[in-house]
Amino acid sequence: MNAPLSRRAILQGGGALVIGFLMPMGIGRLAAQAPAANGPPPVDPNAFIRIAPDSTVTVLVKHIEFGQGPFTGLATLVADEMDADWAQMRAEHAPGDQKVYANLFMGMQGTGGSTAMANSYLQMRKAGALARWMLVQAAAKSWGVKPEQITIKAGVISGPGGKQGKFGEFIETARTLTPPQDVPLKDAGKFEFIGKDRSVGRVDSLDKTTGKADFSIDQWTPGTLTVVVAHSPRFGGAVASFDASKALAVSGVVAVKQIPSGVAVFATGTWPAIKGRKALTIKWDDSKAEARGTAQMAQAYLAKAKEPGIQAKATGDIEKALATPGATLVEADYVFPYLAHAPMEPLGGYIEWDGKTALARFGSQFPSFDQPAIAGVLGIPPEQVKVEPVLAGGSFGRRATGDAHLAVELAECVKAIGPGKKVRLTWTREDDIHGGYYRPLMVHRMRGAVKDGKIIAWSDTIVGQSFAVGGPMEKMMIRNGVDATMVEGSSEPPYKLPAFRCAATIEQSPVTTLWWRSVGHTHTGYAVETFVDRLLEAAGKDPVAGRLELMTDQPRAAAVLKAVAELAKWGEPVPAGRGRGVAVVESFNSFVAEIAEVSIGEDGEPKVHKVWAAVDCGIAVNPDIVRAQVEGGIGYAVGHILYGEVPLEAGKPTVSNFNNYRSLRIMEMPEVEVTILPSSAPPTGIGEPGVPPCGPAIANALARLGRERPTILPMVKSA
């Protein structure tokens, strides 16, 4: 075999073989294509599928697996097109290589925006279909029969005269074949796995049940130093001076070095590194740091929200409509706190650097940003940096950073200790909660008017930080001075409103912010859905029927709303002491409506008993993963709407770990019932869309219990 080495060698991995080493669709061709411009590039099955002699089929997954299910999802697509047996399917992460593994929606290698299934649906089916084609041709050639005489079922290839074989038997022959550009995909009516509930189990369940699954924190090789970094307690602060003498006296501490993000303590293990860090004395320069508290910031933002802001969208004359004589004016000021993502696995990773090349293994969500960032720090060409994404213990947006700050810190650490070293960086939970990249603190000033049972005016003015400003995605996200992710959901509510205005103002702070599971919808969904509920109440309308009247040109949103009302038997009596609220939000091209049943517990806290959800996410490739994502999304929403907040006092976070950054626990988890609407539309997102409707549904339920719909979150303030 004259296999060109480099990339193939990477793909080849542990002794398994990649079919068709000499595929004509070279990597160079793929690279030359501008993905977004003329439709997706041709699919190179070699890059995505590896068939081993033992017939296992490994799918190389370009989206990072942190629970949302792309390993299983993409393996499902390939298995169905190949007519494989589910038991032979495996999945692993594709290496960092943007030319082959770009997210077709982003033009770069990255996971986010609930796009994994949406953008891989056709690509992976094509790869599977091409792989199947090659196996069929190879079997035909080996048996001396026509390809049309070959069938494949459950991983068994059959030919005339009772001939049978498994995939692994034909890889050597398949290598010699030149596949066509394209082969027809399976007819949807013939799917064995796609859309078939519980036809497949998650490929990663067993390893995650036996402790075998390896995460970022589990990556190291003999001789690796563990490093923890002391970061500025205030955002925007910097090291003025430090004294490491006591830290260096801790047994196991090997070195202490200043790096741009703080002071790094290198040790033989995690505990000595943590102890060493505690023993540091650091003077911080706070001259450029945030000095305000969040209460002060919220006040300033609310004052700003009285100004017009930059208009995102408008219809009619809003001020005139709000001043309509005889109309009921409704106003509400909303404050959404900073939120930490707090993925179960704190950030961290492994890197080795020999002076010329580097290898980094960690939960890299944006390899396309992480690889050049590491190269930049180490002063080597990006091609000399290998990024190998590994399983991550959750993300919720946290691992997708435009500034690649974790990759940069990783590289700075190994650079500080010198070439020929390996380091493993570990963030503690305190580093995570204090570490910023929060869901931004946001305010909404909502004003509406109701007359004769109709909503006649709606104004929403949003003020907060934009994490797009100054980042690599600024151009993509900010249009005409408005950050699209700040107003998404607010600028186009699903309701017909005769006079409407949505505007936003971007504020600045050294506090770092980031997308957080469902991005702008975390606040816009809440503001819009609680406010419409309030206006409908003022108009004397039922929350479901009233919404439907305003949704005449929103068939998919209306359909999920109707479906959830049916599922929960909306309108029928509710147990004493309980109230129900509803909300519907479109996000990431999926539609989710939820109804929450809530009471007030003995402690005065809202208790969420049950949430019903109706989902339209196009074709649900793995219905049970869709269900799991909605269950998890609801849990994530309940936890943060009730308890989530990172308050700052004089610029410093006042919470630091799960003792005071309260997380949802099993006792607070509501029952969840999900219905998935049948659809033949292409798959859309599901990792995030379960989150936005839940908070407002809870608030709207509280209104049925005679409480105000909370406008200052979280609902439960810690003492």
Smallest distance from the beta carbon of 102 to ligand FES, in angstroms? 27
Smallest distance from the beta carbon of 67 to ligand FES, in angstroms? 5
Smallest distance from the beta carbon of 408 to another protein, in angstroms? 23
Rounded to 10 deg, the angle between the 694-704 and 623-643 helix axes is 60
Report the alpha-carbon angle 402-403-408, nearest 5.
135
> In the window 43-62, what residues touch another protein (CB under 8 A)?
none
Smallest distance from the beta carbon of 252 to another protein, in angstroms? 7
Q: Give whichever of 186 and 607 is closer to another protein, judged by the CB atom.
A: 607
Beta strands in 144-279 (DSSP E): 151-153, 156-159, 163-166, 225-230, 238-243, 253-259, 262-267
Q: Which residue matches tokens 């599971």? A: 517
Give CA–CA dist 536/543, Å, rounded.
7
Query: Which of 50, 202, 399, 445 is close enough to bind another protein by CB under 8 A?
Result: 202
Instruction: Tell whether residue 344 is a contact of ligand FES (CB under 6 A).
Output: yes
Binding mask 362-401 for ligand FES (x = CB under 6 A): --------------------------------x-------
Give CA–CA dist 385/608, Å, rounded.
48
Q: Give whichever of 287 and 657 is closer to ligand FES, judged by the CB atom.
A: 657
Please choose which of another protein, ligand FES, none residue 444 contacts, taking the beta carbon within 5 to 8 angstroms, the exact cut-off set by kind.
Answer: none
Smallest distance from the beta carbon of 112 to ligand FES, in angstroms? 18
Smallest distance from the beta carbon of 633 to ligand FES, in angstroms? 13
Six token digits for residue 601: 């517990």
Instruction: Tell whether residue 329 is a contact of another protein (CB under 8 A).
Output: no
Smallest distance from the beta carbon of 270 to ligand FES, in angstroms? 12
Query: Which of 287, 381, 453, 658 is close enough to bind another protein by CB under 8 A?
Result: 658
Give CA–CA dist 370/394, Å, rounded.
18
Q: How many residues bind ligand FES (CB under 6 A)?
A: 3
CB 652 within 8 A of CB 234: yes
Query: Which of 41, 346, 543, 618 is close enough to bind another protein by CB under 8 A?
Result: 346
> In the window 454-513, what residues touch ligand FES (CB under 6 A)?
none
Query: Which of 666, 678, 680, 706 is close enough to bind another protein by CB under 8 A?
Result: 666
Give CA–CA dist 590/621, Å, rounded.
14
Binding mask 216-255 for another protein (x = CB under 8 A): -xx-------x------------------------xx---
Smallest distance from the beta carbon of 174 to another protein, in angstroms? 32
Query: Which of 527, 636, 683, 710 is close enough to bind another protein by CB under 8 A?
Result: 636
Neighbour order of strands in the sheet with 163-166: 151-153, 156-159, 163-166
Instruction: Tell whether residue 240 is a contact of ligand FES (CB under 6 A).
Output: no
> In the window 547-586, what residues touch another protein (CB under 8 A)?
none
The torsion region of residue 563 among left (phi > 0), alpha (psi -120 to 50) and beta comes to alpha
Query: Which of 41, 45, 67, 435 is close enough to bind ligand FES by CB under 6 A?
Result: 67
Smallest distance from the beta carbon of 394 to ligand FES, in angstroms? 5
Beta strands in 270-321 (DSSP E): 281-285, 310-315
Smallest distance from the beta carbon of 336 to another protein, in angstroms? 20
Cβ contacts of 678 within 8 Å, gap of 6 or more? none
Binding mask 382-411 for another protein (x = CB under 8 A): ---------xxxxxx---------------
Report helix, strand and coil shares of the chain as percent, to nearest 5. 30, 25, 45
CB 118 within 8 A of CB 679: no
Binding mask 7-36 for another protein (x = CB under 8 A): ------------------------------
Q: Residue 273 phi/psi, 5° resolution?
A: -65, -45
Q: Please provide the distance, in angstroms rounded to a whole number, between the alpha carbons at the two ends of the chain.
A: 69
Instruction: Tell whether residue 595 is a contact of another protein (CB under 8 A).
Output: no
Please choose which of another protein, ligand FES, none residue 2 contacts, taking the beta carbon within 5 to 8 angstroms, the exact cut-off set by kind.
Answer: none
Reduced to 3 states (helix: H, G, I; strand: E, B; else coil), residue 80 is helix
Query: Which of 603, 659, 678, 706 is close enough to bind another protein by CB under 8 A?
Result: 659
Half-sphere exposure of 148 (CA within 13 A, CB side): 0
Instruction: Tell whether residue 664 is a contact of another protein (CB under 8 A).
Output: yes
Of 421, 434, 301, 292, nearest in space to 358 by CA: 421
Smallest distance from the beta carbon of 209 to ligand FES, in angstroms? 11
Please choose which of another protein, ligand FES, none residue 497 contacts, taking the beta carbon within 5 to 8 angstroms, the exact cut-off set by kind.
Answer: none
Rounded to 10 deg, the angle between the 70-82 and 116-143 helix axes is 30
Neighbour order of strands in the sheet with 590-600: 579-587, 590-600, 606-616, 671-676
Instruction: Tell whether residue 159 is a contact of ligand FES (CB under 6 A).
Output: no
Instruction: Give the CB-nearest residue to ligand FES.
Output: 344
Piece of the chain touching another protein by CB under 8 A; list 140-148, 196-204, 233-241, 572-580: 196-204
Buried b or exposed e, range 572-610, using 16+ CB within 10 angstroms: eebeeebbbbbbbbbbbbbbbbbbbbbbbeeeeebbbee
Q: Residue 444 phi/psi, 5° resolution?
A: -125, 130
Piece of the chain touching another protein by CB under 8 A; list 65-73, 141-149, 281-289, 587-595: 65-73
CB 386 within 8 A of CB 95: yes
Beta bridge partners of 388: 361
Smallest distance from the beta carbon of 184 to another protein, in angstroms? 32
Q: Residue 357 phi/psi, 5° resolution?
A: -130, 160
Q: Residue 42 phi/psi, 5° resolution?
A: -60, 155
Instruction: Tell whether residue 206 is a contact of another protein (CB under 8 A).
Output: yes
Q: How many residues bind another protein (CB under 8 A)?
A: 64
Query: Which of 33, 173, 270, 599 is close enough to bind another protein by CB under 8 A?
Result: 270
CB 194 within 8 A of CB 202: no
Of 406, 410, 535, nearest in space to 460 by CA: 535
Give CA–CA dist 594/615, Å, rounded.
9
Smallest distance from the beta carbon of 344 to ligand FES, in angstroms? 3
Q: Give whichever of 6 and 718 is closer to another protein, judged by the CB atom.
A: 718
Query: Which of 44, 412, 537, 624 is close enough to bind another protein by CB under 8 A?
Result: 624
> In the window 83-142, what residues touch another protein (CB under 8 A)?
none
Query: Which of 81, 83, 286, 345 is close enough to bind another protein by CB under 8 A?
Result: 345
Q: Which residues bind another protein (CB under 8 A)?
A: 66-69, 201-202, 204-215, 217-218, 226, 251-252, 269-272, 274-275, 342-346, 391-396, 426, 428-429, 624-625, 628, 631-636, 639, 657-659, 663-667, 669, 671-672
Q: Which residues bind ligand FES (CB under 6 A)?
A: 67, 344, 394
